[in-house]
Each structure stands twice: as C-alpha cells, then as structure tokens.
Amino acid sequence: MTPRPPLKLRLDGGALVANWNWLAAQSGAAACGAAVKANAYGLGAREVVALLSAAGCNQFFVAHWGEAAAIADLVPPAQIAVLNGLDADDPADVLQIGAVPVLNTPLQIARWKAAGGGVCHVMLDSGINRLGIGSEQLDETLFDGLDIDILLSHLASADEDVAQNSRQLGTFSDMARGVKSKRKSLANSAGIMLGPDYHFDLTRPGLSLYGGIARPEMVEHIKPVVQPQASVLQVRDVPAGSLVGYNATYETAAPTRVATLAIGYADGYWRGFSCQGHVTFDGQRLPVIGRVSMDLLLVDANTAPHLAEGDWVDVGFDLLSASALSGMSQYELLTGIGHRSERMWV
C-alpha cells in the first residue's frame, strides 16, 4: 500500500471543461484545441485530455515525444502535435507513436522527408525568435513534398496591448501566403481575446484552460480549476515576542496559535508567499507567518480556535493574486506544483 500524502490538489473538472467551452466560443468560427504540455501545466495530462476529448476537443499540443506517448492511447494519435519537432534519433520512434511533429527548422524538414514524411505541421517564426522557420529561410522549394496540416506561429506578447501583436499577425499572414496547408493557427489563450483576425482556423489555449487569467477580459469568465489543500501537522501556542521560521523574519506581537502545515516550496508553494499568503479554515483566513520552508508552512491560527492536528486547510492559490504576491507568473505557479500532492478530480 502507498500511504496517502498529507497534500491534496483538488482539481475541478467541470471548471476545466467550462473554460474550454468559453474559449471555444470566443474563438468564433475557428476550432479550439488545447495545450497539454508539461503534464497539462502540472494538473495531469491524461485526466485533462480525457475530459476535454469528451467535451469535443480534438487537437492537443505537447512539447516532447514522451508526452505524446503518454496520451496516445486516449485519443487518435494524429490529434496530437509535438511542438518541439524532432531530432536525428526521433523519426523511427515517432512514426510508431503516430503523433504529428511540428517541424521548426530546415534540418527537421529534411529529416522528416528522409524518414518517409507523411502529415506534419510547420512552425513559422513571426517575431518571437524562438522556434520556427524565419522569413530569411523561406525559399520556393523548402516545403516541397510536405503534407502540411497546421501552419502555425506563436505570439510573444498577446497578454499586452502592444504593436508587436499586429506586426506578428502581418508577418505570419505574409509568410503563410505562399505555403500550402490545410489549417493555420496563431492564437494562444491571450491571443484569442485579440479578435477574429488572430483566430485563423484553430486556436490553442493553454493557461486559461487551467484557470489562468491571460487578459483582463477573462476575469469574469475563466473559472479556477486548482485548489491545493494541506494537512495540519501541529498546533502550538507561543508567547508574544516569539521568533517564527527560518532567519527570524517574523516575531509574534501577541500570544499566537501557530499551526504548521505539510506544504512548502518543494510542493510549488514558493518562498515569495512568506508573510504574504494565506490559508482558509472554516471560513477564516489564516495568514502565513515567517518564511516558507521546503516542506512546511506556518500560519497564525488565532482566528481558528478549533483548528487541530490532522485537519485540512485550503491554501490560497487564486492564480492572479497568487502571481502578484509571489512574484511568479501564473504559468510558473501551475507547472511548479510538486508531485507529492494527491491529485483529486472532482
């Protein structure tokens, strides 16, 4: 038997599906896919893919081939796109998986052709200068013999109202004009909110599926999916003037009930929450005091006199406010959730 961990990650499947449905509606005539890379941003790719597939999603994006193999039994492998392309050792293995590579460089294109080719996707770099074929690499023969399903690019600053967005849209449109493909895709979660010109044939949200607020327009519509819960390991009464946690960064101003919880930065509850975050028990908000430790968290439990060893508390993890408190991006908060939490879909 495997002992149950003292950490839970309550995951709201209904909220996940509602978020996808709302993002699909905002995508207009374009189909709506789902980015499930990094184990679905830390939530669990297999559970997410199963839920979204049942809701009608039929295009999934991962980063690595191992991620594709992990979900290839849940959906037709042709619905899985591998964003990082393929290296010299990949073709024989990936042909067996059946997922579709996103070809990012002329060398990857050559490898795919040499391996026998087949349906592929191609990334064009429209201005992020990260992955993708640059405009200087385009020539009349580069894509000869390719069966391109999705021609895609990636927005660098869609979460901001900046000129780069329209420049990338123009660059992508210009670069795509001479490339034959079945579908085109540009918009991520934030890009969906930039309007129909950015939608093309397929949008591919990630962050906002999981409760992240990519743009202010989403605040009233995107539902939280993630709720960490931690068990109480100890409750003690300490006198005024007591120093709490590493390096004595907090001193009690009055007699204080200090509760020690089984969560820390090894679980993705970062040191930036020190003396900033909170947990909730029985409707009461209990502030974090002292520094967040690797495995432990201390809170002031004066307003929760019935809190006892073995109880469970909800850890404040609203992504927008948690990002502001911790100094971490919403992406980092999600993907940084540790593996010690028992993931419980409800």
List residues with catalytic annotation: 37, 246
Alpha-carbon distance 54 to 306, whole Å? 42
Alpha-carbon distance 70 to 97, whole Å? 10
The two tokens of residue 27 are: 């995508």
Alpha-carbon distance 293 to 80, whole Å? 39
Other CB atoms within a 10 A radius of the CB of residue 148 amount to 18
Instruction: Give residue 73's region: left, alpha or beta (phi > 0; psi -120 to 50).
Output: alpha
Closest by CA position to 35, among listed 208, 206, 156: 206
Instruction: Give residue 217's region: left, alpha or beta (phi > 0; psi -120 to 50).
Output: alpha
Looking at the DSSP bridge assignments, the partners of residue 149 are none
Instruction: Give residue 336's region: left, alpha or beta (phi > 0; psi -120 to 50).
Output: alpha
DSSP assignments along 248-271, one per residue: G-EE-SS-EEEEEES--GGGT--G
Q: Which alpha helices (H) appear in the chain, and where do they start and end?
A: 13-26, 37-41, 45-55, 65-71, 91-97, 106-114, 163-176, 189-192, 319-326, 330-335
Alpha-carbon distance 176 to 182, whole Å? 11
Cα 28 off chain centre by:
23
Alpha-carbon distance 169 to 137, whole Å? 19
Find the radius of gyration of the CA atoms of the chain. 23
